[in-house]
Amino acid sequence: MIDTLTAYAQAKIDGLAAKSLARTLKPTHRLDSVWVIRGGRRMISFSCNDYLGLSHHPAVKAAAKAAIDTHGTGAGASRLITGDHPLFSELEARLAALKGAEAACVFGSGYLANSGIIPVFAGPGDVVLVDELAHACIWAGASLSRADVIMFRHNDTADLEAKLAAARPGAGRALVATDGVFSMDGDVAPLSEISRIARAHDAWLLVDDAHGLGVLGGGKGVAALFPDARIDLAMGTFSKAIGGYGAYVCATRPVIDLLKMRARTVVYTTGLPPANAAAALAALDVIASDPDLVAAPLAKARRFTSALNLPEAQSTIVPIILGEAETALAAAADLEAKGLLAVPIRPPTVPAGAARLRIAFTAGHPDEAVDRLAEAVRPWLAR
Ligand SMILES: *Cc1c(COP(=O)(O)O)cnc(C)c1O
């Protein structure tokens, strides 16, 4: 006899498997941002967000190792208790300067950042408007806020404006939240227009720049592409191009001060390991000093979209939308047999009927490998 909890889990898994939606973790040894070993085979990965290869950069690794030797492996407590390592304020000052903001707050991860930030600025009686394809952690933050959460159509500024106007003036405060670069689609939000609409309706704007920092706008992130956009809460992560772990938000000093007092994912969680902050600082140094490296991932993505006559890549991410989960699985298996790792993305990460290969380009991908990938993908596009 199995217990009811185990039976529940097994029945759920069986249901997912019947729809080709079961998932398993596959141990993968990442040699760098390009090469991985999985199942004993060496393959080129097009599924890593380590766009600049900084997770394996000698200076970044050295900074992390030195920080461990000096400061140990953990922060020891929440930042408000004893865990506010001096490296955090150094990193925050650096990020604020990079983003042209007054101040910044570092978080343990991107997921923690968005789930902590939104409830500080929206609550019952307020509205949060979220792009339908925004990252899961924006949705998590919005629902934790207990504000009315309104979804607007993807990158559809007319829909945003209509929904915001309808919510106003009844609602208390209003917050618009969107990804800057969409993590599964690779397209960029029209931030000038979104910012204009938000301001016109007295709403605040949060932009998640997880996939822009280090690779767009000369490394400064997606906002640098929209100099006229006013972003009240400029959030991003250290988990993608920065090659590490952790996240931040830049804003005015009082907004940051309030977050440090009130965000539950600052107050009730242990500070980031100091070595992660040291690694992020070293990564930002590399980004500031090497414009060719910063420009490379987008150039690789554009080489790929041009080879296949796809719309020009707007970011390092190019989706190959195939429809059913089974098709995405079959395409990924076909590529894998050719030594190319492009992980299939299925619901609920993407909408039903929009299963895809999500291809991510990094500076280290040889042009020859990009061309080989394009040839391997071509027959799947023709279907
Ligand atoms: C990866 C990602 C996150 C989550 O960041 P983590 O640091 O991995 O928790 C948040 N937002 C977007 C758009 C992302 O792609």
The span from the CA of 173 to the CA of 127, in Å, is 6
Q: Do 282 and 301 fall into the same domain? A: no
Instruction: Answer with the residue of higher pLDDT: 382 or 114.
Output: 114
List the beta bridge partners of residue 107. Answer: 247
C-beta atoms surrounding 67 within 10 Å: 22
- Same domain assignment for residues 277 and 202: yes
Examine the pLDDT at 244 and tell me if it is beyond 90: yes
| Mean pLDDT score, 348-358 | 94
pLDDT at 254: 98
Number of domains in the chain: 2
Give residue-wise pLDDT tens across range 20-75.
999 999 999 999 989 999 989 999 999 999 999 999 999 999 999 999 999 999 99
State the average pLDDT over residues 346-365: 95
Q: How far is the CA of 207 from the centre of ligand 1 (A)?
A: 12
Nearest CA to ligand 1 atom 10: 110
Query: Residue 5 domain-assigned?
Result: no
In a domain, 223, yes or no: yes
Task: List residues near ligand 1 (CB under 6 A).
Answer: 109-111, 135, 137, 179, 183, 208, 210-211, 237, 239, 247
Band of the pLDDT at 383, cuts 50, 70, 90?
Answer: confident
Q: What is the SS3 assignment for 336?
A: helix
The range of the structural domain enclosing residue 361 comes to 18-47+291-382
How many residues can be counted in the chain?
A: 383
Mind listing the pLDDT tens digit for each residue in 185-229? 999 999 999 999 999 999 999 999 999 999 999 999 999 999 999
In a domain, 145, yes or no: yes
Mean pLDDT across 295-301: 98
Q: Could you tell me the distance, in angstroms and rounded to a whole number, from the CA of residue 378 to the centre of ligand 1?
A: 29
Q: Are residues 97 and 172 in the same domain?
A: yes
- Looking up residue 300, the CATH number of its domain turns out to be 3.90.1150.10
Closest CA to 241 of 179, 298, 168: 298
Average per-residue pLDDT in the chain?
96
How far CA 271 is from CA of 69, 122, 265, in Å, comes to 18, 24, 10
| 214 shares a domain with 284 | yes
Separation CA 78–CA 197 (nearest Å): 37
The per-residue pLDDT for range 100-148, each reduced to its tens digit, is: 999 999 999 999 999 999 999 999 999 999 999 999 999 999 999 999 9
